[in-house]
Structure formats: structure tokens, C-alpha cells
């Protein structure tokens, strides 16, 4: 009987508007989770910008072996530890 109660029919909708930098941050974080990373040209075209201007620290992350670019794809370097 409680399943048919109207209180369970409520739909809550919440919208959040993200700034351009927030959208870019989300794109990067979500796509770096993928093994192949993401295509830098696709990012630049999607956001009409240059990733190196928006994120100048990328080169430092590459030089410190946290990120790698391969065939224009930016991805995380996977490090496996053995115990």
C-alpha cells in the first residue's frame, strides 16, 4: 500500500551551471580515467582553446612522468607497484 503513496512519486530535479573552466576540468578528469586518455585536438576544438594556455602545468606533469602524450593523446602514466 505504501508504494502507491504519492510521496514516492516526487521527482527532484537539480541543475548546476558550470563555467567553461569547470567544464574543461570535468572533461579532463573524466577522460583521464580512460586507458587511452583523450585527444588534445578534440579538447582544443571542443572548448575553442589551447590546452597548454589553459593548463600551463601540463608540461611539468609530463616532465615529472605523471602524464604522457602519445599520438596526440594525453593520458596518465600507470605505475604498478609490487609488494
Cβ–Cβ < 8 Å for 77, 65: yes
Indicate the helix (H) or strand (E) that contains 74: strand 73-76
Q: With contact defined as beta carbons under 8 Å apart, do 67 and 75 qualify?
A: yes
16 versus 39: the higher-pLDDT residue is 39
Question: Which pLDDT belongs to residue 6?
Answer: 57
* Cα(63)–Cα(53) distance, integer angstroms: 17
Q: Looking at the predicted structure, is the pLDDT value of residue 74 above 70? A: yes
Please give the pLDDT value at position 79.
Answer: 75
Amino acid at each position: 500500500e505504501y508504494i502507491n503513496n504519492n510521496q514516492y512519486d516526487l521527482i527532484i530535479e537539480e541543475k548546476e551551471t558550470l563555467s567553461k573552466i569547470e567544464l574543461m576540468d570535468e572533461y579532463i578528469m573524466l577522460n583521464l580515467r580512460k586507458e587511452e586518455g583523450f585527444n588534445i585536438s578534440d579538447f582544443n576544438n571542443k572548448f575553442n582553446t589551447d590546452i597548454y594556455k589553459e593548463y600551463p602545468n601540463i608540461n611539468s606533469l609530463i616532465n615529472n612522468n605523471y602524464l604522457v602524450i602519445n599520438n596526440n593523446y594525453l593520458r596518465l602514466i600507470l605505475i604498478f607497484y609490487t609488494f
